[in-house]
Amino acid sequence: MENGAAKPVIVAIDGPSGTGKSSTSKAVAAQLGLSYLDTGAQYRAITWWMVTNGIDIDDPSAIAAVAGKPEIVSGTDPAHPTITVDGTDVAAPIRTQEITSQVSAVSAVPEVRARITELQRSVAAAAEYGIVVEGRDIGTTVLPDADLKIFLTASPEARAARRSGELKGADVHATREALIKRDAADSSRKTSPLAKADDAVEVDTTELTLQQVIECVVTLVEEKRAGK
Ligand X SMILES: Nc1ncnc2c1ncn2[C@@H]1O[C@H](COP(=O)(O)OP(=O)(O)OP(=O)(O)O)[C@@H](O)[C@H]1O
Question: In this structure, which amino acid lies at residue 106?
Answer: V
Residue type, 167: L
Phi/psi of residue 47, nearest 5 degrees: -65, -45
Q: For ligand X, which residue has the nearest CB?
A: 20
- Among positions 1-30, residues that touch ligand X (CB under 6 A) are 15, 17-23
| 39 φ, ψ (degrees, to nearest 5) | -75, -25
Following CA atoms 14, 138, 120, 209 in sequence, which dihedral angle do they give, to the nearest 10 degrees?
20
Residues 113-132 that bind ligand X (CB under 6 A): none
Determine contact, residues 170/160, Cβ cutoff 8 Å: no
The strand ranges marked E within the chain are: 9-14, 35-38, 72-75, 82-85, 88-89, 130-135, 148-153, 201-204
Task: Pick the closer one to ligand LCLUPRNS by CB: 180 or 225.
Answer: 180
> Does residue 182 touch ligand LCLUPRNS according to CB under 6 A?
yes
Binding residue per annotation — 21? yes
Per the annotation, does 35 bind a ligand? no
Is 18 annotated among the ligand-binding residues? yes
CA 206 from chain centre, in angstroms, equals 19
Build a one-symbol-per-residue string for 189-228: x at contacts with ligand X by CB under 6 A, - elsewhere.
Answer: ----------------x--xxx--x---------------
Q: Which of 55, 103, 148, 179 binds ligand LCLUPRNS (CB under 6 A)?
A: 103
Residues that bind ligand LCLUPRNS (CB under 6 A): 17, 39-40, 43-44, 103-104, 107, 135-138, 182, 186
